[in-house]
Structure 1
Amino acid sequence: MIRTRFTELVGVEHPIVQGGMQWVGRAELVAAVANAGALGFITALTQPTPEDLTKEIVRCRSLTDKPFGVNLTILPSIKPPPYAEYRQAIIESGIKIVETAGNKPQEHVTEFKKHGIVVVHKCTSVRHALSAERMGVDAISIDGFECAGHPGEDDTPGLILIPVAADKVKIPMIASGGFGDGRGLVAALALGAEGINMGTRFMCTKESPIHQLVKERIVANDERETELIFRTMRNTSRVAKNAISTKVVAMEKEGAKFEDVRELVAGARGKMVYASGDADEGIWSAGQVQGLIHDIPSCAELVSRIMRDAEAIIQSRLEGMMSGAQRVAAE
C-alpha cells in the first residue's frame, strides 16, 4: 500500500489519477477508475450543456460509490462555453473534487473553495504552479513535455520539471506526462511527486468509451508516433501522428495561420475519430507514452498491475540495492 498526501487529500486508495480528456472522460471510464481505487475525472465540456453534465454525474454515481471528480478546462475561445453554469452544475451536484486547467482559474477556484471543494490545477510550468498555489488550489498536476494535449511552450521534460516543481511547490503535486506503468509511478515518487496522472494509458482500457480500432492503434504505435501542432502559434498541442497532423505541421512550416487549418483541426472531426475508429479522420490527442502501451486491460487490471509492480520495485529492487551496498560496505 502506497499512501501519499494526495491520496489522503482526495480519499482514494492509490496515487493514480485519470485526468480530464475531451470526448473520453465519461461516466463509464471514470467509474471504472474509481472502482479500481484510483481517482477519475468526468470532463465537463465533453457534455453539450451544464444540464447534460448533471446527468452524467448522476450516471457515474449509479456505477460507483467511490470518490470521483470533474474536470473544468478554461480555454480562450471566440464563443466560450458558459463556464459559470458548468461550475454551478458541479457545485449543485455535490462534487467534492475538481480538476481545473487552462487559463487563470481564480474565479472558479474562489467559488469552488466556498463550497469546500478540493481543487487540483493542471499546469505546465513551475511559475504557473506557484501562481495556482497562491490562488488557493489544494494540489497541482504538473505536465511534462511528454504529455498529450497542451505541454506548454517551455519544452521541459518531466525528469527536470517534476523535481524542480517539488523543490518549490508546498502543496501536494501529482506528475503528468509519460506515465503508464509501475516504473513511472516509482520514478514520480522519487522525483518528489505524490502520485501520477495518466491520460493516454487510460484511453487504452476496456472501459474507455472510444472505438476499439483507436485503442489498437495506440498499442501499435511507438513513442515516436506523435506530432506537435500549433508550434508556430505558440499554442503547442501534442497529438497522435496521422495524415491530418502531418499536413497541419507542413502547412505551419509554410506560414499557415489558424484560419488556414481550422477545418482540419475541428473538434468535431476529432470526436469522429473516437466514434468511427478511423484514426485519420481528424486530430486526436496521444502522448509519447504510447511506446509503453502494449495491451488493452480493464481499469482494475491496469491499476492493480501498476501498484503491484511499483511495490515490487520498491521492496525488492531498491531495498535489494541498499542491502547489497550495505554488505559491500561491511566487507
Structure 2
Amino acid sequence: MIETAFTKLVGVEAPIMQGGMQWVGTADLAAAVSNAGGLGIITALTQPTPGDLIKEIERCRKLTKKPFGVNLTILPAINPPPYSKYVDAIIKAGIKVVETAGNNPQEHVKRFKDAGIVVIHKCTAIRHAISAQKMGVDMVSIDGFECAGHPGEDDVPGLVLLARAAQVLTIPYIASGGIGTGRGLAAALVLGAAGVNMGTRFMCTVESPIDENIKKTIVDASERDTALMFRTLHNTARVFKNAVSKEVVEIEKRGNAQFKDIQHLVSGERGRKVYTTGDPDFGVWTCGIVAGLIHDIPTCKVLVARMVKEAEDALSSQKIIKSKL
C-alpha cells in the first residue's frame, strides 16, 4: 500500500476515498470501500432525516470495522434541509471523518472541529481552497472541471488545479474529478496530492446500490457522454448526456431561462428513480467524464487493489525513466 498524509490522517491503507454521492453513498458501498482499504463515505442527505442517518451509520458499523466518514453537501435549495440537525446526528454518532462540499461550511466546520472530527472540504477553485484552509479544515479535495456534479464556474481542469494547490496550500489535499485508474492515482501523487477521491468509478462496482443497467450504461459510455446544464443559471452541473439533460440544455440555449422552466425535468426524485428503475433516460443523473476510462464492474476490493498496484508500477517506471535522463 501507498502511505501518504491522507492515509495517516484518516487511518486507511490506500490513498483512495469514495466521494459523497446522492442516492449512491449508502452503508453498503461505504463499508465495501473501507473494507477494501480506502475511505468509504455515507452521503448524509441521501437519508431522509437526521435520525435515519444515525441508523445508516450504525448499519455501516455492522458491515465494517474500518474507518469510514460522512459527506454533508450544502447547496442552495427552495426548501433547504436541516443542515444543523444533520451535523448534530454526525457528531452524536461518533463519526471521525467528514467531507463537506458546496457552499461555505464555516459554521459547520467549527462544530465538527470542536468535536474532534477530521474535516475534508471539497473545492472547485484555488481561492476556495485557501478560504477552507483559513477556516481550519484538515484537508481539501481539489475538484477539477472533469468531475461529476458541480464543477464550479471557472472551468479549470484538475491538471492545473492540482499543480496550483501544491504552490499555495500548506495543508494536504487530494485530487477529485477524472480519476478512475492507477495511472490517475499516480499522476495525482506526482502533482502533490495525498490521494484521490472518486465518485463515478465507485458507481461502477459490484457493491454500488444502483441498478445494474446504469452501471452498464457508464461502462459503455465514452468521455464525450456527459452534458453541462445550469450554465446560464451559474450553477453548472455535469450529468449524463441523455434525453432529459439534452432538453434542459436546449431550453437554456433559448435564452432567459429560469429554474421554473426546467424544474420539472431536473427533480431529484426523477434522478433517484434512474438508479432504481435502471432507465438512464428517466431523469438527470450525475456522471463524470471519467466514464471513458471505465470498462468493467469490479468489486471494491479488486478495484482498490488494482489501482494501488497500477500506481506503484507507474511510479516505479517514472523513477527508472528519471535515472536514464
> What letter corresponds to residue 209 of structure 1 in structure 2?
P
Q: Output the TM-score relative to the length of structure 1.
A: 0.97
In the other structure, the counterpart of 2:324 is: 324
Provide structure 1 residue ranges, at least 5 long, that are not aligned to the other structure. 326-331
The 1-side partners of 2:124 and 2:323 are apart by: 38
Within 5 Å, give how 1:114-193 maps onto structure 2: 114-193=114-193
Mapped pair 1:279 → 2:303: no
The 1-side partners of 2:141 and 2:159 are apart by: 15
In the other structure, the counterpart of 1:83 is: 83
**C-alpha deviation, 1:2, in angstroms:** 1.2
Instruction: String of CA shifts for 1:221-280, please: whole Å, max 9, x gaps.
Output: 000000000000100000000000001000000122110000100000000000000000
In the other structure, the counterpart of 1:310 is: 311
The 2-side partners of 1:320 and 1:192 are apart by: 20
The 2-side partners of 1:294 and 1:197 are apart by: 19
**C-alpha deviation, 1:324, in angstroms:** 2.8
The 2-side partners of 1:240 and 1:112 are apart by: 34
The 1-side partners of 2:10 and 2:147 are apart by: 23
The 2-side partners of 1:266 and 1:143 are apart by: 24
Provide structure 2 residue ranges, at least 5 long, that are not aligned to the other structure. none
Q: Output the TM-score relative to the length of structure 2.
A: 0.99
Instruction: String of CA shifts for 1:33-81, please: whole Å, max 9, x gaps.
Output: 0000100110000000000000000000000000000001111112111
**C-alpha deviation, 1:319, in angstroms:** 2.3
Q: What SS class does the counterpart of residue 309 from structure 1 fall into?
A: helix
The 2-side partners of 1:77 and 1:28 are apart by: 28
Q: What SS class does the counterpart of residue 73 from structure 1 fall into?
A: strand
Mapped pair 1:98 → 2:80: no
The 2-side partners of 1:258 and 1:77 are apart by: 11
The 1-side partners of 2:240 and 2:169 are apart by: 31
**C-alpha deviation, 1:323, in angstroms:** 3.3
The 2-side partners of 1:166 and 1:154 are apart by: 19
In the other structure, the counterpart of 1:270 is: 271
Q: What SS class does the counterpart of residue 62 from structure 1 fall into?
A: helix
The 2-side partners of 1:163 and 1:10 are apart by: 23
The 2-side partners of 1:123 and 1:322 are apart by: 32
**C-alpha deviation, 1:166, in angstroms:** 1.6
Mapped pair 1:59 → 2:74: no
The 1-side partners of 2:19 and 2:298 are apart by: 18
In the other structure, the counterpart of 1:328 is: none
In the other structure, the counterpart of 1:254 is: 254
Q: What SS class does the counterpart of residue 63 from structure 2 fall into?
A: coil
Mapped pair 1:289 → 2:259: no
**C-alpha deviation, 1:192, in angstroms:** 1.1
The 2-side partners of 1:146 and 1:140 are apart by: 17
In the other structure, the counterpart of 1:4 is: 4
Instruction: Compute the RMSD of aligned alpha carbons.
Output: 0.7
Q: What SS class does the counterpart of residue 141 from structure 1 fall into?
A: strand
**C-alpha deviation, 1:321, in angstroms:** 1.1
**C-alpha deviation, 1:320, in angstroms:** 2.2
Q: What SS class does the counterpart of residue 101 from structure 1 fall into?
A: strand
Q: Identity of counterpart residues, as a percentage?
A: 65
> What letter corresponds to residue 57 of structure 2 in structure 1?
I
The 1-side partners of 2:134 and 2:294 are apart by: 37
In the other structure, the counterpart of 1:19 is: 19
The 2-side partners of 1:303 and 1:2 are apart by: 11
Q: What SS class does the counterpart of residue 54 from structure 1 fall into?
A: helix
Aligned residues: 324
In the other structure, the counterpart of 1:208 is: 208
The 2-side partners of 1:197 and 1:204 are apart by: 15
The 1-side partners of 2:22 and 2:167 are apart by: 31
> What letter corresponds to residue 278 of structure 1 in structure 2?
D
The 1-side partners of 2:76 and 2:270 are apart by: 20
Q: What SS class does the counterpart of residue 40 from structure 2 fall into?
A: strand
